[in-house]
Structures are given as C-alpha cells and as structure tokens.
Amino acid sequence: MILGIGTDLANIERIQGTIDRFGARFKNRVFTEVEQIKAEARKDVVGTYAKRWAAKEACSKALGTGLAMGISWKDMGVTNLSSGQPIMAVTGWAAERLTEMTPEGHRAIIHCTLTDDHPWAQAFVVIEALPRADD
C-alpha cells in the first residue's frame, strides 16, 4: 500500500548560487555529514547537492508535511547502497511522522530516485507500507 508520494525539481544553478553565498553555513544547515562527504567526493559536487535537496523536499511531501510542520532538513538524509542505489533515511520528527502514518502490522519502506539534466535536478520519493512477516 502506498502511504505517500512526493516529487521535487531543484535548479542546480540556484543551489550553486546559495553555496557560493553561504558556503559551509548552508551545507551544515541542510545536509547530513554523510551527504556532504558524498557530494564533495563527486565530480559534479553541486549537482549532487541539488539532487539531495530535491530528495529532502520530495520526502517531506511524501510524509504529508512539507517543511513547515517541524521537520528539519537533516531529519531526512540520502545515502547509497553499495550498488549506488539512493535510499532515504529519516530521523527525528520525520521518523516520528513516518511511524504515525504507518498502519499497525506494517513496516514502511522509503523508495527514492534521483536524476539530473543540467540545469535541473529531480527526485521522486514513494513511501510504501508492507505487511510485517512476523505479525
């Protein structure tokens, strides 16, 4: 069963401008340490940040809250499986919201996909609830 779907489109040049203007202050406010390490190691540093920005926006929409209801940017973080597949991890208020929206006897899975085609970065997030095998 689908619990939530979110999508977002980020302008890579806008993210570049924000990084140029605010630098580490912006990165530390919005991105987890893992996200920053990943982005700084990539050839397309700004594109990587832009995709993660879009993923956070999309995740907040899939959670049904947007960023206005108490979710912190760092409550949502994109990491990668060893295969390179992006996954969304949630903590804090985002994790609480995910628990609230997950039906009893189910576990939530957050699916995340990222893409970019300069000057745009895009993310889709789908939250799915699967029945627990042990229930």
- Domains of the chain in sequence order: 2-131 (3.90.470.20)
Q: By the 8 A CB rule, do 5 and 117 touch?
A: no
Is this model's pTM higher than 0.85 or not? Answer: yes
Average pLDDT over residues 99-113: 96
pLDDT digits (tens, 9 = 90+) for 57-89: 999 999 988 666 667 899 999 999 999 999 999
Cβ-based neighbours of 103, under 8 Å, separated by 6 or more: 1, 129
Q: What is the pLDDT of residues 1-49, one digit of tens each?
A: 999 999 999 999 999 999 999 999 999 999 999 999 999 999 999 999 9
Local confidence band at 135 (pLDDT 50, 70, 90 cut-offs): low
How big is the CA angle at 83 (ends 99 and 10), to the nearest 5 degrees?
65
